[in-house]
Structure 1
């Protein structure tokens, strides 16, 4: 009976998302790097579950990904892909923004 109780407590906690800003930054720098073609960076970000606004206006492409949290609402991870100053088809810089979570 005790094992069943412990399992019942562990299941809801196993699916919880916790904000790990440093971990997100490390993950992103392993996924995309400055100097790579912007189109390739977008393909990689989408493969990781990000939605990227691909409007050609401006120099920044905003990519976001929702992370659901049980009983506490959702969080939005945001990464800004900045085009190179010398080539609009090349990734120049990556800005990993602060993760924002809904307050319930």
Structure 2
């Protein structure tokens, strides 16, 4: 039984870690620069993100999603959708911010 628990420990620890590059890859597969902002917001929301797309947001639309972790407190995944400088209703860039986890 002890061997089983020791063998399972790396799996448990892996499940608790955050893979920042995986999040970045996921987001760039979901939304891309050049797509309509409205379509990008719908896609992000379909993936569980909350996007603050109010009219007073300006150039950057912040999106967040809670990342559930077993045995630890939840983290917050953060992505900024930056409007195009030439077309306000188009995504110009995507900034995947560092995941915030409580200490």
Instruction: Find the counterpart in structure 2 of residue 33 from structure 1.
Output: 32
Alignment CA distance shift 1:85-1:102 (3 Å): same
Alignment gaps of 5+ in structure 2 = none
CA distance in 1, matches of 2:41, 2:73: 27
2:27 is aligned with 1:54:
no
Deviations 1:21-74 (A, max 9, x none): 011111111110000000000011011110000112211100000012122201
**Larger CA deviation: 66-75 vs 22-31:** 66-75
How many residues are treated as equivalent by the alignment? 98
2:70 is aligned with 1:70:
yes
CA distance in 2, matches of 1:27, 1:76: 15
Alignment gaps of 5+ in structure 1 = none
2:85 is aligned with 1:85:
yes
Alignment CA distance shift 1:17-1:47 (3 Å): farther
TM-score normalised by structure 2 residue count: 0.83
CA distance in 2, matches of 1:55, 1:93: 18
**Larger CA deviation: 64-73 vs 24-33:** 64-73
Q: Structure 1 stretches (4+) deviating beyond 4 angstroms? A: none
CA distance in 2, matches of 1:20, 1:84: 28
Matched residue SS, 1:73: coil
